[in-house]
Structure 1
Amino acid sequence: MYDLLVVGAGPYGLSIASHAAAAGLNLRVLGRPMASWRDHMPRGMFLKSEPWASNLADPGGRWRLDTYCATQGLTARHADPIPVTTFAAYGLWFAHHAVPRVDERMVSRLTARPAGFEVVTEDGEVLRARTVALAVGVMPFVEVPSPLRGLHPALISHSSHHSDLERFRGRDVTVIGGGQAALETAALLAEQGTRVRVLARADGLSWNDVPPPWQRPWWQSARAPHSGLGCGWRNWFYAERPGLFRHLPEPTRARITATALGPAGAWWVRDRVEQAVEVLLDREVASARAVTGGVRLETVSRTGERYSLETGHVIAATGFRPTLNRLGLLSEELRGSLATAVDGSPAVGRDFESSHPGLFMGGLVTASAFGPAMRFVHGATFTATTLVRGVCRRLRTTPPVGRIPAAVGRGRAEAVRADH
């Protein structure tokens, strides 16, 4: 029986695994490493987060993004966006050096047992563990507006369903949404020769400003400090103090999580959109139906005006909704036993432990508890440190000093020695 099973091998899962290995826990990591970044983002996309805020977390801080870039002859600079393909490759490099061997099988079922948990892999193997950390990323939580859900998949897709937009070359596509995913997807489509429009319910698009220089006069830094989520004291609080954020009243946390850092495009994609993409504002989809050649969308404005348009395909860049009922890998009994927050996400305590002892959560699904940082890679450091401490507490162990786990991949042993 394992001490810990980590389900998911994205930035959060890999970071948790690195800390757990350094703590001497007997663990297993399940999932395709960096799957969302490798399989669900089109070529040509860039990270919106700053390079220095996009590190996966190992206890010694050795396996940073800038270190990886240096090994590839690349530079990770402030205000210089990193290609998603580079970030995905960095995650694989991190997994190789900082994490025990990853079992790339997916988990089909997680069930609670008297002595811990039982996991069934996609090919039927049963694994058992005293504790489990769920770090399943965003893909279970894809959100599509209800008027579009009845359409055939040939007519409607989510922005996260595409690793390649080539199939839309020369076609007519409508992208729904006003955030980075919508705007960057639209820009990439336009640049490959697709006739594309963006349909957004807001009455204007929001654009992030070019970040101020890293080195600034002290009074500018004091007024608006840099943080992993952008400049300003409010963003600094969300980014750097998620443990304090958890102590806010639950309604306040829910409101901030739903509204902070709302839909906006990165500064470096603005010209690409404004010069090449039709933008239809103040329009929300009221209904949709299949017609010859595509989809007919009926939209309505906030004043009640109605507009119709026909398009060949709809891409919903409408985000993710991390509710408990979408965690289909949990057994019905386990899922039904878990407490939820006001937004329907699983309730977690100070160590990211759910209401079921020994079941921990990491990533987007914990944003209502720990704030907007959990929507970004930047939150992985706090999560990994805090969650593994909670696992050790649950197991009634303390992290052994100087122990080098035998299963750790090449490079991890040297890191552990350096840390001690």
Structure 2
Amino acid sequence: MYEYDLIVVGAGPYGRSIAAHATAAGLRLRLLGRRTRRAADGRTVTAVRPYGRDGFEVVTEDGESLRTRTVVLALGPARFTELPSDAGEFRRVAAHRDRFRAAHPALFRRLPTVVRLLLTDHENTGTDRVTLLSMPVRRRLSRTPDAPPWVDTRFESAHPGLFFAGLLTAAFFGPAIRSAHGAEFTARRVLRGVHRRLGRRQR
């Protein structure tokens, strides 16, 4: 029924890191995204929607339908908003504004929600911008459309089996997630969540 255990949408540093961990764990994986290396499928994903009892259908720009148990959306800032011309400097300043928050995303996640939101700069990354998801799914992700999608400690959203990585999760894990610095931390946590969703023990 499902061709894949995991499809990762986005071939930037977060997507590639998650894909590497999933491959090492022996999962049936597909990596899709424009910023590709040879291991990635360069097609754009146009839709991600629920399929079956607990899976997803991922549709590519040429109409191919892929079925998977879990999905990670590792979408970069280009999908949501324009960055300043010196985007590299922008990311460096954001990541180093507070060394504690940047170095300890797990501790940042434990702060009360109100405190985390006050400490995080919003960059127009609300769930209403994730247009490849159907509207019913988007409505489940956060209380308001302009807020980032809620994720648990394993980066799983309020929709079971749907995970987020990268910029969209900065409100929950802090400045480290604004740059490639947080990719390894994210990949390890996401893989734990995927294994739990698949009913497997992590190797």
Normalised by the size of structure 1, how large is the TM-score?
Answer: 0.44
Q: 1:328 to 1:383 in 2, by over 3 A?
A: same
Q: How does 1:39-50 map to 2 (within 5 A)?
A: none
* Structure 2 residue aligned with 1:28: 30
2:65 is the counterpart of 1:126: yes
Task: Encode CA deviations 1:75-134: one digit per residue, 9 max, x unaligned.
Answer: xxxxxxxxxxxxxxxxx4xxx5xxxx3111110011012230011110001000000000
Task: Encode CA deviations 1:195-251: one digit per residue, 9 max, x unaligned.
Answer: xxxxxxxxxxxxx7xxxxxxxxxxxxxxxxxxx9449xx41x222211111110111
**Contact 1:254-1:342 within 8 A present in 2 as well:** no
2:104 is the counterpart of 1:241: yes
Give the RMSD, CA atoms, in angstroms: 2.5
**Contact 1:324-1:340 within 8 A present in 2 as well:** no
Q: 1:121 to 1:343 in 2, by over 3 A?
A: closer
Following TM superposition, by how much is the alpha carbon of 1:12 offset from its aligned partner in structure 2, in angstroms?
0.5
**Contact 1:118-1:127 within 8 A present in 2 as well:** yes
Runs (5+) with no aligned partner, structure 1: 35-91, 144-157, 161-179, 185-207, 209-227, 260-319, 401-420
Match of 1:112 among 37, 44, 50: 50
Q: 1:342 to 1:258 in 2, by over 3 A?
A: farther
Aligned AA for 1:32? R
Match of 1:360 among 163, 166, 174: 163
User: Aligned equivalents of 1:183 and 1:129: distance in 2?
Assistant: 37
Q: 1:128 to 1:243 in 2, by over 3 A?
A: same
* Structure 1 residue aligned with 2:81: 142
Q: 1:129 to 1:252 in 2, by over 3 A?
A: same
* Structure 2 residue aligned with 1:253: 116
Aligned AA for 2:115? T
Specify the structure having the higher radius of gyration (Cα).
1
User: Aligned equivalents of 1:128 and 1:136: distance in 2?
Assistant: 19
Following TM superposition, by how much is the alpha carbon of 1:385 offset from its aligned partner in structure 2, in angstroms?
0.8
* Structure 2 residue aligned with 1:391: 194
Aligned AA for 1:132? V
Runs (5+) with no aligned partner, structure 2: none
**Contact 2:58-2:67 within 8 A present in 1 as well:** yes
**Contact 2:165-2:186 within 8 A present in 1 as well:** yes
2:111 is the counterpart of 1:345: no
Q: 1:384 to 1:254 in 2, by over 3 A?
A: same
**Contact 2:74-2:164 within 8 A present in 1 as well:** yes
| Aligned-partner SS, 1:103 | coil
Normalised by the size of structure 2, how large is the TM-score?
Answer: 0.88
Identity fraction in percent: 49
Higher fraction of helix: 2
User: Aligned equivalents of 2:69 and 2:58: distance in 1?
Assistant: 11
Following TM superposition, by how much is the alpha carbon of 1:337 offset from its aligned partner in structure 2, in angstroms?
2.2
User: Aligned equivalents of 1:104 and 1:3: distance in 2?
Assistant: 19
| Aligned-partner SS, 2:120 | helix
Aligned AA for 2:193? G
**Contact 1:159-1:182 within 8 A present in 2 as well:** no
User: Aligned equivalents of 2:119 and 2:9: distance in 1?
Assistant: 28
